[in-house]
């Protein structure tokens, strides 16, 4: 007979993800996860698996949450909405108050030597999702004539992901300092220059 859990599973998942986000995969110990969730190790293992399992679930949760945010912000929109989303990410305005700086996925990518292949697959899938969302928004504008018919939306999407990835890495290094604000302004100018009508 399954036993009833006496804690909020979703809150515990969020606490686990936040701990990995703040401390990184290598820097997070099981003791850190116990403190963050107020659960003993046995309960952690029984409910969420081992540390690699918990990290994979955190990456998956993060991916889904960010994808939903991007979808909501860019649905049926083009370059303007995409530019707003990218500027918010680069400037750190996309974060709910109290969330860690940077990006869980970028942090994971910098620790790739310590990760399992299944973690790296999730990080790659996240990066591919970002490129796809950028491509979809650019394609909407190319199809409507706002971008030149020969505009290379695939290359532009990759360029945008590289810029965002770098800005997020800077946020991680500088603990949320707004060092990418000037870069966001320049990127907005660059993207505005792509639009022809």
**What is the rounded CA–CA span in Å between residue 12 and residue 21?**
14
Q: What percent of the chain clears pLDDT 70, i.e. is strictly above it?
A: 91
pLDDT tens digits for range 139-167: 999 999 999 999 999 999 999 999 999 88
Q: For residue 173, how far is the Cα from the chain centroid?
A: 16
Whether the pLDDT of residue 182 is over 80: the answer is no
**pLDDT tens digits, one per residue of 68-80:** 989 999 998 999 9
Locate 114 and state its tokens.
Answer: 């310590």
The model's confidence at residue 28, banded by pLDDT at 50, 70 and 90, is: very high
DSSP state letters, 62-106? HHHHHHHHHHHHHTT--HHHHHHHHHHHHHTTTSPTTPPSS-HHH
């Amino acid at each position: 007979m399954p036993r009833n859990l006496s804690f909020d599973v979703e809150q515990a998942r969020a606490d686990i993800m936040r701990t990995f986000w703040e401390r990184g995969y290598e820097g997070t110990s099981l003791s850190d996860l116990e403190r963050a969730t107020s659960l003993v190790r046995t309960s952690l293992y029984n409910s969420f698996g081992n540390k690699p399992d918990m990290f994979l679930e955190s990456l998956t949760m993060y991916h889904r949450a960010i994808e939903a945010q991007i979808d909501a912000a860019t649905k049926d929109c083009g370059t303007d909405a995409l530019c707003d989303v990218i500027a918010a990410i680069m400037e750190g305005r996309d974060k709910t108050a109290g969330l860690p700086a940077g990006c869980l996925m970028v942090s994971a990518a910098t620790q790739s030597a310590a990760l399992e292949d299944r973690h790296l697959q999730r990080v790659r899938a996240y990066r591919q999702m970002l490129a796809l969302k950028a491509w979809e928004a650019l394609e909407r504008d190319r199809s409507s004539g706002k971008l030149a018919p020969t505009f290379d939306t695939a290359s532009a999407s990759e360029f945008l992901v590289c810029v965002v990835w770098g800005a997020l890495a800077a946020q991680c290094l500088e603990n949320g300092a707004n060092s990418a604000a000037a870069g966001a302004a320049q990127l907005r100018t660059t993207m505005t220059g792509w639009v022809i009508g």
